[in-house]
């Protein structure tokens, strides 16, 4: 076979079998950005879906984590692509958020993370033509506490939140200007943020958190939810956990408060990566796909 013809055949075979991909104009894409806030350059990772974004999700990492780590833990990019959600993974100051409990490095430095995250949301709304009322926040642990604080302080910007293994600090004020839809998941065997509230031993020292049930009750009260929540048990997938779902739908301004109590669940993201051994953080439930459920919840609770 002539050399030139052999080379063409080799190239053709490699395009098919050597991992080369053609990327269409409609493919998802990632970028890294910096935003000046509070006298600091704050960084973030942005994932843009293949279609026109219909909403913006801020996904906040836990204490000691990063935006990239939160992305890997949750696998949220695939869900975002399926629903055309723009998702940003910001980086906290010294791998922490100033959620109001006082112990984190960010709290100790008096970082204005509410201001930073609202400014970041505003920038991305403007850059990608995201409609008002289509901004959502989710987070894990310290990021879950921060999601709650954002909803408490800036309900004018945040339409819905989803907190995993995070509640509110004892004494943290929560007087939102309007109702906010809330999704919460918490394991009863969480060794780091106790399900029943109490001391939380974090990177900056000891803080104190309210219980998961107290936090959910607070939001039901804030949102004016009427009647008892409906209850169901998710199908048993035989992973050692049992997930109980309670749902309050009769709330003001069409908001909703959903709570997933994960019996024997640990300090983990539902259906996410088991990022540390079970002996350290407890078990990850497979009965609930957290990222998928959160995306669907957000889409159902955009403000019109």
- Bridge partners of residue 259, in order along the sequence: 184, 246
- The pTM for the full model equals 0.91
213-241 pLDDT tens trace: 999 999 999 999 999 999 999 999 999 99
Measure the CA angle with vertex 268, ends 224 and 277; round to 5°.
165
Q: Which of 76, 55, 78 is nearest to 67 (CA)?
A: 76
Sheet holding 29-37, edge to edge: 29-37, 40-48, 85-90, 55-60, 135-140, 160-164, 181-187, 257-263, 242-248, 230-233
87-122 pLDDT tens trace: 999 999 999 999 999 999 999 999 999 999 999 999
- Bridge partners of residue 15, in order along the sequence: none
Half-sphere exposure of 266 (CA within 13 A, CB side): 19
Q: Judge whether 193 and 165 are in contact, CB under 8 Å.
A: yes
Superfamily for the 29-300 domain = Alpha/Beta hydrolase fold, catalytic domain (3.40.50.1820)
Question: Please, what are the averages of pLDDT over each run of 10 residues along the chain (304 residues)?
Answer: 35 30 60 98 98 98 98 98 98 98 97 98 98 98 98 98 98 96 98 98 94 98 96 98 97 98 98 96 98 98 94
Domain range summary for the chain, segments of one domain joined by +: 29-300
- Alpha carbon of 5 to those of 10, 13, 83, 158, 172: distances in Å? 9, 12, 45, 60, 72
pLDDT at position 304 = 86
pLDDT at position 11 = 30
């Amino acid at each position: 076979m002539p050399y030139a013809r052999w080379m063409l055949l080799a190239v053709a075979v490699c395009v098919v079998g050597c991992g080369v991909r053609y990327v269409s104009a409609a493919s998802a894409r990632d970028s890294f950005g910096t935003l000046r806030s509070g006298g600091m350059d704050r960084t973030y990772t942005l994932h843009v879906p293949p279609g026109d974004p219909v909403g913006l999700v801020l996904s906040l990492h836990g204490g000691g984590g990063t935006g990239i780590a939160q992305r890997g833990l949750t696998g949220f990019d695939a869900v975002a692509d399926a629903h055309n959600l723009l998702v940003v993974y910001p980086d906290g100051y010294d791998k922490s958020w100033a959620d109001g409990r006082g112990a984190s490095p960010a709290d100790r430095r008096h970082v204005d993370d509410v201001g930073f995250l609202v400014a970041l949301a505003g920038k991305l709304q403007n850059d990608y033509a995201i409609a008002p009322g289509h901004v959502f926040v989710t987070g894990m642990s310290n990021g879950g506490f921060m999601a709650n604080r954002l909803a408490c302080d800036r309900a004018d910007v945040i339409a819905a939140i989803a907190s995993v293994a995070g509640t509110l600090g004892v004494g943290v004020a929560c007087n939102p200007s309007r109702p906010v839809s809330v999704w919460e998941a918490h394991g009863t065997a969480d060794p780091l943020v106790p399900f029943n509230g109490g001391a939380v031993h974090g990177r900056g020292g000891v803080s104190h958190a309210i219980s998961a049930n107290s936090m959910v009750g607070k939001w039901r009260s804030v949102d004016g939810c009427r009647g008892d929540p409906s209850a169901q048990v998710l199908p048993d997938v035989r992973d050692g956990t049992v997930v109980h779902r309670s749902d309050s739908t009769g709330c003001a301004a069409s908001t909703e408060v959903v709570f997933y109590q994960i019996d024997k669940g640990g300090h983990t993201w539902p259906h996410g990566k088991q990022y540390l051994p079970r002996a350290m953080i407890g078990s990850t439930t497979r009965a609930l796909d957290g990222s998928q459920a959160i995306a669907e919840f957000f889409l159902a609770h955009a403000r019109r």
